[in-house]
Structure 1
Amino acid sequence: MMDRPTMTVPFQERAIAPRLLAFALAFGALAGGCAGKGAQADPPSIAPVDTRERHPIVLRDAPRSLDVFVGRAGGSLDSRQAEDVAGFAREYRRSGKGGLVAEVPKGSRREGATHDTLSGIRATLARNGVSPNALSVRSYPIQDPGLASPIRLSFASLQAVVPHQCGQWPTDLGSSDFKFSASNEPYWNLGCSSQATLAAQVADPIDLVRARDEGRPDIVKRMGAIAKVREGKDPSTQYRQQTPQINATVGGGS
């Protein structure tokens, strides 16, 4: 029986083979790590597509304030400031939480005029249904005697606001960022001013959370419609309004 011939591997090749294997394993691990980092390095979308998610309207308790400027000593509030205080009192009765605070300037050398203006504020609030016990008076030091130092009225109320300021531009809208330009995504500030304006125009912030209860139905109109249905008549209402012709209103035409 013949012996199987054996192949002798040179010593240099036997020394290089483990090095090549180690290099291949190291290169594979490095490539895998780079691929993983590359997948994590891709940032998510810069902003939600929906404006309501990007700039949501939230409810929070925030102060409402009115500055009433000090008039002359011995005088009451002028007509403009009296109307402002009356409107502020109605708003406090409608949506105010807690007490009403009046911050009075101190050290203005116009103590008499400040006292008379505060008395006018109290009288106007009382005429508009705000109890004198609801008003608490505090003082604040005057920083610049050369500027007007008003009496500030304030109270806390529920307000609808955007939780951040508008006018933020985290991404360049020019051609410097090709990836953002090619993504065709909305820029961050899109819709922020519209949401802030809508929040400021809402009379009752709770309307953004839930709807109001339905009002009482018109029983007279409902019974009239039912009577027409029983008589076989059309219960619908037709509103007819004759629109005048423009030439007849202006003065006739040819």
Structure 2
Amino acid sequence: MAKIVGQIRSSDYLERSGMWWIRSRSMQKQNNVCKNTVNSLRLDAVGLAVLAALAVSGCTTYQPSYAPTVMRNKITVTESVERLELYVGQAGLHLSSRDENAVAAFLSQYASSGQGPLYINVPSSGATSQGVEQAQSIIQSYLGRMGLNGASMQAGQYKVEEGAAAPVIVSYRRLRTVPIDCSQGASLTHTSNNQPYGNFGCAQTANLAALIDNPMQLLAPYGFDNAYAARRMTVIDKYIAGEVTASAKPEGQEVSATEGAR
């Protein structure tokens, strides 16, 4: 015979299951609230870190990413000695047309870029004294043709061994720019640091150095001449009289906008 321990009513079961569902939903809501709180705290921390980084970056000063190219590729100016040798024979100095052109070109270069006096060094032996005098006379004649009669000339002697060639050496000093070698550069594929390669701007500087005719321009500026006193007095007189001090423009230089558009 079966023994009945207890009887559960359907209403009691529904009530208990409902309480369990309510309790489980409540616990789920609490878990979601905790998760949302943790996520919000994380977002707040990230936001504070971003704001702090922006605040710190706002206090920094501007710094160029790299130094100017003029600091990395400098033009070097050096002094060189240009020389011309005139070989004198026992019968004197005889210059061919080619030699005359060489002397003219040498002295023309001295007139344009020479620094200091023109040096004429002759051998210490007097075996070719006649040719030495002829060389000096020829050089002075060429300088006179170029309008350099007042050019400073310094004569000197040098020792020569017996039987050796003893030319007359004409020389002068000049400034020149040193050629820049741009072939030695950094790798063009190394761009991880977002910086220009090491010899960036080298080609431009090398071309500029080759184009400069007078390197003295890199060492000191040209001096200013005195103002033209007659023109200054003309401007002052017109200013006192209340007249226009500017120079008069020729009629052909005045063109209106409508005429220029035609």
Query: TM-score normalized by structure 1?
Result: 0.48
User: Larger Cα Rg: Structure 1 or Structure 2?
Assistant: 2
